[in-house]
Amino acid sequence: MRVLISIPALNEEKTVGGVISGIPAEIEGVSVLDVLVIDDGSSDATAERAREAGASVIRHARNRGLGAAFRTALASARDGGYDALVTIDGDGQFDPAGISSLLAPLVDGSADLVTCSRFMPGTPRGSTPWIRRFGNGVVAAMVNALTGSRVHDATCGFRAYGPAALEWISSFSRFTYTQETLIDLAWKRMRIREVALPVRGVRQHGRSSISGNLVRYAFLSAGAIYSASHDHMPWRFYGLPGLAMTAAGLIAEALVFARWIDTGKVTPFKGVAIAGLFLVVIGLLLTIMASLAESSSHTRHLIEEQTAYRVRQTRSGQRDRA
């Protein structure tokens, strides 16, 4: 298995070198292990420290967000014909020695996505603040409800994506990719496994650019979850509410109309008539939105099929050259 290890980093000059040096030199079942740091517009010496530690570096001229950093890594893994992509933060919160544990289920073919879990039953609580534990629990519950999966940690960025995941995964969010990709792969029936690994609950240096502001993090995470979900289930998000509102509006209008036939008057139910009309109009608009979203979803799936085919061809070509 050829593996690319991606480290997104923003002003991590104090820790990125240690993360790189801690990556295992050899892993069972892995023939190639390359390290790539995505410097997302750092203003310090992150890129220099990464190169000194032996990693390749792709630098964004300005800060584009963790989601964009992930897509840069994803493109590099696909274009390089790699079989797996590992993502690990550059702030030192994750022990890079755990990469072996993440890759093991990919090597033996029992999983398509393996993610580190900080909150599985029996996992040491560590020093993670309670507010983050609570917030992750809410996010995990939302992801499980939307996809039917059963994960305990939906926000951890320490993951390993296998061949099938690399072929089919899609990511669009600028803010973060963790919840989005989990929802995407769960809906595509990928095999997802969690592995409990030790994690430092608090950063050694600086403040997280992702979860430093918890209110902003919660708001943007909710947006990412919504964006990732409605494309896979447009009728659940738009169609069913639209049909329900239309039906309620028609029932209200029918009752008012029956009263008018019986008495020749609408009063005192003018409000019901207006509300019924409002429900019918909004319901029809939502139903139209569901149809348009479904058409857009079909187009996306066609593009994903073409991407998966290209990735397989690139990987096959890489093996032939090797």
Q: What is the per-residue pLDDT for 282?
A: 97
Which of 136-140, 177-181, 211-215 has the highest mean predicted lDDT (pLDDT)? 177-181
- Whether 200 shows a pLDDT value over 80: the answer reads no
- Whether 74 shows a pLDDT value over 70: the answer reads yes
Q: Do 265 and 171 fall into the same domain?
A: no
Residue 244 and residue 240: Cα distance in Å, rounded?
6
248-293 pLDDT per residue, tens: 999 999 999 999 998 888 888 889 999 999 999 999 999 999 999 8
pLDDT category at 218 given cuts 50, 70, 90 is confident
**Stretch among 21-35, 73-87, 168-182, 211-225 having the lowest mean pLDDT:** 211-225
- Whether 300 shows a pLDDT value over 90: the answer reads no
Chosen domain end from 162, 195, 230: 230
Average confidence (pLDDT) over 171-192: 89
Total domains in the chain come to 2
Could you tell me the residue range of the domain that residue 290 belongs to?
A: 234-321
Q: Do 57 and 172 fall into the same domain?
A: yes
| Number of Cβ atoms within 10 Å of the Cβ of 48 | 15
pLDDT category at 120 given cuts 50, 70, 90 is confident
Chosen domain end from 208, 230, 252: 230
Q: What is the per-residue pLDDT for 205?
A: 55
Average confidence (pLDDT) over 228-243: 84
**β-sheet bridge partners, residue 86:** 5, 160
Q: What is the per-residue pLDDT for 304?
A: 93
Chosen domain end from 177, 206, 230: 230
Q: What is the per-residue pLDDT for 4?
A: 98
Q: Do 91 and 174 fall into the same domain?
A: yes
Q: What is the per-residue pLDDT for 68?
A: 93
Average confidence (pLDDT) over 111-129: 80
Q: Do 257 and 167 fall into the same domain?
A: no
Q: Do 59 and 197 fall into the same domain?
A: yes
pLDDT over 90 percentage in the chain: 61
Q: Do 120 and 138 fall into the same domain?
A: yes
- Whether 209 shows a pLDDT value over 60: the answer reads no
Residues recorded for the chain? 322
Q: Do 79 and 164 fall into the same domain?
A: yes
Residue 66 and residue 46: Cα distance in Å, rounded?
16
Q: Do 57 and 160 fall into the same domain?
A: yes
- Whether 98 shows a pLDDT value over 70: the answer reads yes
**Integer-rounded Cα radius of gyration of the chain:** 24
Q: Do 200 and 259 fall into the same domain?
A: no
Q: Do 37 and 118 fall into the same domain?
A: yes
Residue 143 and residue 113: Cα distance in Å, rounded?
15
Q: Do 85 and 221 fall into the same domain?
A: yes
pLDDT category at 221 given cuts 50, 70, 90 is confident
- Whether 319 shows a pLDDT value over 90: the answer reads no
- Whether 69 shows a pLDDT value over 90: the answer reads yes
Average pLDDT, the chain: 89
Residue 210 and residue 200: Cα distance in Å, rounded?
16
Q: What is the per-residue pLDDT for 235?
A: 86
Q: Do 225 and 238 fall into the same domain?
A: no
More confident residue, 118 or 111: 111
CATH number of the domain encompassing residue 192 = 3.90.550.10
Residue 303 and residue 167: Cα distance in Å, rounded?
11
Q: What is the per-residue pLDDT for 201?
A: 56
125-164 pLDDT per residue, tens: 666 677 777 878 888 888 888 888 889 998 899 999 999 9
